[in-house]
Amino acid sequence: MPDWLGNIIGQDLLDGLNYITNGKHLMWYASVRFTIIAALLGAGFALIFGLFGAILLNSKFLPLRGIGLFYSNIVRGVPDVLFFLFFPLAFEQLVEWFFALSACSAQELAENIGKWPPCPDAQWFLGTYEYLLLASVSLGIVYGAFSANVIYGAMQAVPKGQLEAARAFGMGPLSVLLRVHIPQMWIYALPGLSNVWMLLLKATSLLSLLQIADIVLWADRLGAPNYLKQVGLVHPDWRWRYYLVLFLFYILVTYLSERFFNYLRKKLGRGMVEA
């Protein structure tokens, strides 16, 4: 900030503006993109997994229905943080195991028993965006199980007469599913899916567990007591102030999400009479 601005707004306010626009704070503001990307990608994966899970639950073929029940019931019971840590780590080590089959010699495998990876050539170096993608898939798997139950219930709510009318017109089971059953069920699924979205949005605060410098990690770093040898204590423990900013951020995103889902409900419900 230019020094002459201090004559207009006051030196204290200018110092405050300089502080919240320094390099670390700009990185904090930029890290919002990680939260938004993880939420949107996670929601996309959750919708895909949930739709397939609901189709399995609605299947008349017992083994397929059993897979759907296993997915929707078991995954929902696993704590988010456990699955969030397990899936990326398991996937990373699985890839490194495949690398080791071709990249590591028999001697290296014998010498490095109990070590991981077995040899340097099998090391898979993941960056922020790779971890972000794995985090999004983890969110999709977990909240896809919740979405599967919501979508399955919505499919049951579609009036049976519509499905029978489609069959009477000569449509096959797949056509009825894709052209009538699924399109008609969205109006019934939206209230439940909006709740799943809110839960998924809150779970994005776990990104820092995967070494992603997201808004929660930066808030903790910036708010912690800061000491510099040149000036001593820059500021005491200010974490509650940064957490307050996060609190307001998530409230704003929640408000915008509710407006968006209200818009979707009106658009999808146009011309329809809910049973």
Q: Is residue 275 part of a domain?
A: no
Domain extent, residue 166, equals: 22-268
187, part of any domain: yes
Domain for residue 6, yes or no? no
Tokens of 242: 């940064």
Question: Rounded to an integer, what distance in angstroms lies between the CA atom of residue 216 and that of residue 246?
Answer: 7
Rounded to 5°, the CA angle 115-132-146 comes to 105
Rg (CA), the chain: 25
Domain membership flag for residue 148: yes
pLDDT of residue 228: 63
pLDDT at 275: 47
Q: Are 154 and 58 in contact (CB under 8 A)?
A: no
The arithmetic mean of pLDDT across residues 241-267, rounded, is 92
Q: In this structure, is residue 2 part of a structural domain?
A: no
pLDDT at position 83: 82
Residue 88 has a pLDDT of: 84
Q: Is residue 90 part of a domain?
A: yes
Q: Residue 227 domain-assigned?
A: yes
Per-residue pLDDT, 137? 92
Whether 14 maps to a domain, the answer reads no
The model carries a pTM of 0.84
Provide the number of structural domains found in the chain.
Answer: 1
First to last CA, the chain: 60
Provide the CATH number for the domain around residue 195.
Answer: 1.10.3720.10
Q: What is the mean pLDDT of residues 203-221?
A: 87
Which of the pair, 37 or 106, is modelled with greater confidence? 37
- Residue identified by tokens 């890290």 is 31
Mean pLDDT of the chain: 85
Q: Is the pLDDT of residue 192 over 90?
A: yes
Q: What percent of the chain has pLDDT over 70?
A: 89
pLDDT at 109: 73
